[in-house]
Amino acid sequence: MNNDPIIRLTRVSKKFGQSMLAVDDISLDIREGEFITFLGPSGCGKSTALKMIAGLLPVTAGTIEITPQSGVSEQDLGFVFQEPTLMPWATVFDNVYLPLRLAGLKRSDVEARVKDILKEVGLTRFEGSYPRELSGGMKMRVSIARALVTRPRILLMDEPFAALDEMTRSKLNDDVVRLANENKLTVIFVTHSVFESVYLSTRIIIMAARPGRLVADMPMQRPWPPKDEWRTTPEFTAEARKVSETLKGTLNANDIDH
Amino acid sequence: MQTTSITEDLDAPVNTAQLRRAWREQILTWVMPITVLIIALGLWEYLVWHYEIPKYLIPAPSLIAETLIKDGPSLMASSWFTVKLTFFSLGLAIIGGVLLGALFALSRPVELSLFPFAVILQVTPVVAIAPLILIYVDSTFAALLICAWIVAFFPILSNTVIGLRSADHNLSDLFTMYRASPWQRLRYLLAPSALPYFMAALKVAGGLALIGAVVAEFVAGAAGQHTGLASRIIESSFRSEIPRMFAALVLVSLLGIVIFLLTSWASRKVLGHWHESEIRREN
């Protein structure tokens, strides 16, 4: 792990239309191996920021550099959407194979690779199933496998588990931590859950809405990778309270009206 | 969002209750309609015989069947003509509809400039345009083909356009992220997304192609040596050969049913494993 930033945002802004300022002047350095969460209420531009980093949205002002010195290019990005976003007409195998297929790689050449990643997310038995036959949590695993199959060094996740039940969510959180640790990933994770962010991250970026802006940058003093038991410790509760207080302070009168 | 896990389904043995349910389903879909049909035909036969209705008013089913056999060869030739006309026009409607639909989906200006013409073509009754087409086009077959094509083409066009536009936005973003070529995007995202819409249009267009073919032939009249079933109906009507009218009508219906079954089968074949519309639900 070196200390040069792997991703650098410099005075990044995003406007939708003439007046909607979704992201206002954000500067941020992200270093290799960090597990960062963007935490904030809806409308704070956290997803927008993530999509700009992924290159899915153009910036209105400022620059986003994915630092070339560290050998990272945009192809090294994996992206997980809020919904599983699978192709319903394709099997689990074909869904995971998609990024490699689009890169022009032959099925026979990468079959083992796709199977390996399916094994890592625990879906070996389901490679021939269609998405409709899977539970919500399993679909999300397919989505994660697809993001990891290109062996990215950066994983971007946009509220990936917001629609899942608590049990599935905490299981998947542990899986993401394990995968990030094993594959030495830099992760940017968008969420509106304080507990999720405290459990997962080495650093929390708190954002506020209207306009979407960065209000706090909180490095976490904590054991990482986290163990499940950590959720019940006083340290965890203290961290969560701290983050929660900071988050509350960012809510302005506008938001309380809602 | 949670749906039941597949695990139980995979391991569950095929139980007899399930088999029995499948069997009952089979009975309901095949045996019931056929029984009702046979009863209706029997009733028809009985009423005609009982009230001694003359055959030039309403012929009995047995007489229609007899006519079907007696005039078999000539009716078959006419059927073949109608079959050719229908499937040829449906084929052209698919080619034209899909190509133009793809062009519309790719280019907004093309869509805006051409769509009104497609609508005009669709809303003007084919009966009204057919006489003109018959005047302008030398070959009767070609003229009939154009008429049937006009009717069948629009649903395919409009559904292809909607279908190609209906791809999931996030999936589309994903294809952008992985730098998919336009061809890859079409092959792996847009075409599969459009397929349910296209298959729905195909079911409609199949029936419409037959209607178009029959209506156009009615307008064209019984002229010409190569004629289809519609001409035989008109011809028989001129000669007051009512049983043969019915026989030809039966053949037109049969053709319509075959087209419906074919398009339904194709739809199930193509969408059955993934699309909600064609998935058989358990329980």
Out of A75, A88, A99, the one facing B274 most closely (by C-beta) is A88
B29-36 contact pairs (CB < 8 A, 24+): none
Spatial neighbors of B74 by CB under 8 A, at least 6 apart, are B232
Residue B14's contacts (CB-CB under 8 Å, 6 or more residues apart) are none
Whether residues B116 and B198 fall in one domain: yes
Split at pLDDT 50, 70, 90, the class of A258 is very low
- A136: nearest CA in chain B? B2
Residue A31: how many other CB atoms lie within 10 Å? 19
pLDDT digits (tens, 9 = 90+) for B89-148: 999 999 999 999 988 888 889 888 988 888 888 888 888 888 888 889 888 889 889 999
- B281: chain A residues, CB-CB within 8 Å: none
CATH code of residue B117: 1.10.3720.10
Say whether B127 sits in a helix, a strand or coil.
helix
Res. A71: pLDDT tops 60: no
φ, ψ of residue B279 to 5 degrees: the values are -80, 130
- Which residue does chain B place closest to A166, by CA atoms? B2
Q: Do B170 and A87 touch (CB under 8 A)?
A: no
Res A32 pLDDT > 80: yes
Residue A124 is classified by DSSP as G
What is the domain extent for residue B248?
63-278
The nearest alpha carbon in chain A to B273 belongs to A89
For residue range B55-87, what is the model confidence (pLDDT) as tens digits? 888 888 888 898 888 888 888 888 999 999 999
**Distance (Å, whole) CA A218 – CA A206:** 8
Quick one: which of A212, A197, A162 has its CA closest to A44?
A212
Banded pLDDT at B185 (limits 50, 70, 90): very high
On the question of pLDDT at A18 being above 60, the answer is yes
Superfamily of domain A5-72+154-257: P-loop containing nucleotide triphosphate hydrolases (3.40.50.300)
Asked whether the predicted pLDDT for residue A227 surpasses 60, the reply is: yes
Give the gap in angstroms from C-alpha A140 to the nearest C-alpha of chain B. Answer: 11
> Is residue B58 situated within a structural domain?
no
The verdict on B178 touching A (C-beta cutoff 8 Å) is yes
Domain-embedded: residue B143: yes
Q: How distant is the Cα of B26 from the closest Cα of chain A, in angstroms?
A: 25
Q: How far is CA B242 from CA A77, A102, B2, B166, in A?
A: 74, 63, 61, 50
pLDDT of residue B31: 86
Kindly state whether residues B47 and B169 are assigned to the same domain.
Answer: no
Query: Which of B245, B251, B240, B257 minimizes the C-alpha distance to B77?
Result: B251
B42 plus B157 within the same structural domain: no
Task: Please report whether residue B57 resides in a domain.
Answer: no
Asked whether residue B4 carries a pLDDT value surpassing 50, the answer given is no
3-state secondary structure of A208: strand
| Cα dihedral A16→A19→A23→A27 (10° resolution) | 120
Which of B2, B6, B276 comes nearest A136 by C-beta? B2
**Confidence (pLDDT) at A254:** 52
Q: Of all residues in chain B, what percent carry a pLDDT higher than 70?
A: 92
**For chain B, what is the domain count?**
2
- B31 and B165 in a single domain? The answer is no
**pLDDT computed for residue A70 by the predictor:** 54
pLDDT at A74: 56
Residues B98 and B235 in one domain: yes
Q: Determine, yes or no, domain membership for B234.
A: yes
Q: Cβ of A165 and B174 within 8 Å?
A: no
Quick check: is B283 in a domain? no
In this predicted structure, what is the pLDDT of residue B7?
A: 44
* Radius of gyration of chain B measured on its C-alpha atoms: 24
Mean pLDDT, residues A74-83: 84
Q: What is the pLDDT of residue B13?
A: 53
Whether residue B170 and residue A54 make contact (CB cut-off 8 A), yes or no, is no
Domain spans of chain A, in order of start = 5-72+154-257, 87-152
The whole-chain average pLDDT of chain B stands at 86
As a whole number, mean pLDDT of residues A56-68 equals 86
Kindly report the pTM of this predicted structure: 0.82
Q: Is the pLDDT of residue A2 over 80?
A: no
CB of B12 less than 8 A from some CB of A: no
Q: Which two tokens stand for residue A145?
A: 């496998």
Mean pLDDT of chain A: 88
Region of poorest pLDDT, from A26-30, A112-116, B5-9, B130-134: B5-9
pLDDT digits (tens, 9 = 90+) for A95-149: 999 999 999 999 999 999 999 999 999 999 999 999 999 999 999 999 999 999 9
Cβ-Cβ contacts under 8 Å for A246 (sequence gap 6 or more): A206, A215, A216, A218
Inter-CA distances, A78 with A196, B47, B222, Å: 20, 74, 67
Residues present in chain B in total? 283
CA distance A156 to chain B (A): 12
In a shared domain, residues B92 and B224: yes
Residue pair B156/B104 in contact by the 8 Å Cβ criterion:
no
At residue A155, the 3 state secondary structure works out as: strand
- Is any Cβ of chain A less than 8 angstroms from the Cβ of B192? yes
Residues from A in contact with B at Cβ < 8 Å: 51, 54-56, 74-75, 77, 79, 81, 83, 85, 87-90, 98-99, 101-103, 125-126, 129-138, 150, 163-165, 168
DSSP H helical segments within chain B, as ranges? 7-11, 16-26, 32-50, 61-70, 72-106, 108-123, 126-136, 140-165, 169-177, 182-185, 191-220, 229-238, 242-271
Give per-residue pLDDT as tens, B260-282. Answer: 999 999 999 988 888 877 776 65
**Surface-to-core class of residue B153, CB atoms within 10 Å of its CB (0-12 exposed, 13-18 middle, 19+ buried):** buried
Does residue B127 belong to the interface with chain A, where contact is any CB pair within 8 Å?
A: no
Distances (CA, A) of A123 to A138, A152, A156, A179, B219: 8, 20, 21, 14, 62
